[in-house]
Amino acid sequence: MRITIICENTVGRLVGLGEHGFSALIETDQENYLFDTGRGRSVVKNSLELSKDLRSIKKIFLSHGHYDHTGGLPEVLKLKGRVDVHAHPHVFLDRVHVIKENEKETKRFVGLPFKRSYLESLGANFILNKDFIEIEKGIFLTGEVPRKTPFEKPDPVLFSEIDGKTEQDTFSDDQSLILNTEKGHILVLGCAHSGMINIINYVIHKTGKDKFYAILGGTHLDFLTPEQLDESIKVLKKMKIEKIGVCHCTGMRAAFRLHQEFGDRFFYGHVGSTLEI
């Protein structure tokens, strides 16, 4: 099995374009899968530069409805044609990012930037799930993750719009991917809006196994409270995690802390980074 980061904020090799977003290609002996699609400017370009054929994917998994994970869908669909796209029903919610600076409020749309019908016309076959499910043998999606830890709080600048009402975004659609391997789970996170520790605990609860070969993807650890970062690191250090390859919305300060704490077990998931097992 090989996992390759196709879209990410930074480029670590001589190939690819960086963009604020995330996408990872999972290649197994049987099939290939795409987890998220980046923002849209780099997914096809980077796949070609990395000699990955997106026409080979069997399914697309969406971690949540933010533009930086779903914006590349049309580009991928134009290449691939009809394909199953697994997501939570709330993936289509309107999302906004609101910041107040010097009394001035700036609102930016950050949801899935395309209509469902347009994506379907390009070949997307949406399969909507809220629950923890086994997609194929040894491949699971978490569905909605229960919020349990007291220190993992919602991002205060992110909102969703339901029936014309703007509310704090609870990201019920946030889901992660689990690949079962003989060395332990590989957990692929989109933005971990449900809380990285909540997600890990839920995976342990649902699978009955607490050994992680690797945790990859966006963790959102640098955007919330310092308490969340400290508490999350404390918990992570007690867990059985062999490799930790964060990127995207982790933020550099949190990534540096994780590097300090995890040493050689840490790697940064730039565009083109691979994990093989």
Choose which of 59, 66, 86, 88 interacts with Fe ion (CB under 5 A). Answer: 66
CB-CB contact of 112 with 21 (8 Å): no
To Fe ion, the closest distance from the beta carbon of 193 in angstroms equals: 6
Q: Binding segment for Fe ion among 8-16, 124-132, 144-152, 188-196 (CB under 5 A)? A: 188-196
CB-CB contact of 158 with 97 (8 Å): yes
- Position with the least CB separation from Fe ion: 191
Q: How far apart are alpha carbons 160 and 201 in whole angstroms? A: 26
Antiparallel, parallel or unpaired: β 184-189 and 124-128: unpaired
To Fe ion, the closest distance from the beta carbon of 80 in angstroms equals: 22
- Joined tokens for residue 137: 């043998």
To Fe ion, the closest distance from the beta carbon of 31 in angstroms equals: 25
Q: How far is CA 185 from the centre of its chain?
A: 16
- Taking the least distance from each CB to Fe ion, the nearer of 24 and 123 is 24
- Taking the least distance from each CB to Fe ion, the nearer of 28 and 37 is 37
Q: Which of residues 9-28 bind Fe ion (CB under 5 A)?
A: none
Q: Binding segment for Fe ion among 32-40, 187-195, 235-243, 256-264 (CB under 5 A)? A: 187-195
Q: How far is CA 108 from the centre of its chain?
A: 21
Judged by CB under 5 A, does residue 110 bind Fe ion? no
Judged by CB under 5 A, does residue 191 bind Fe ion? yes
Choose which of 19, 68, 173, 222 interacts with Fe ion (CB under 5 A). Answer: 68
Q: Binding segment for Fe ion among 6-14, 67-75, 113-121, 254-262 (CB under 5 A)? A: 67-75
Tell me how many residues contact Fe ion (CB under 5 A). 4
Q: How far apart are alpha carbons 270 and 50 in whole angstroms? A: 13
252-262 vs 226-238: helix axis angle to the nearest 10? 30
Choose which of 145, 249, 258, 271 interacts with Fe ion (CB under 5 A). Answer: 249
Antiparallel, parallel or unpaired: β 104-109 and 165-168: unpaired
The 3-state DSSP class for residue 171 equals coil
Pick from 93, 204, 221: nearest CA to 153: 221
Q: Binding segment for Fe ion among 24-32, 183-191, 239-247, 266-274 (CB under 5 A)? A: 183-191
Judged by CB under 5 A, does residue 39 bind Fe ion? no
Q: How far apart are alpha carbons 122 and 146 in whole angstroms? A: 33
Which residue type is seen at 147? R
To Fe ion, the closest distance from the beta carbon of 5 in angstroms equals: 13
Binding residues for Fe ion, per CB under 5 A?
66, 68, 191, 249
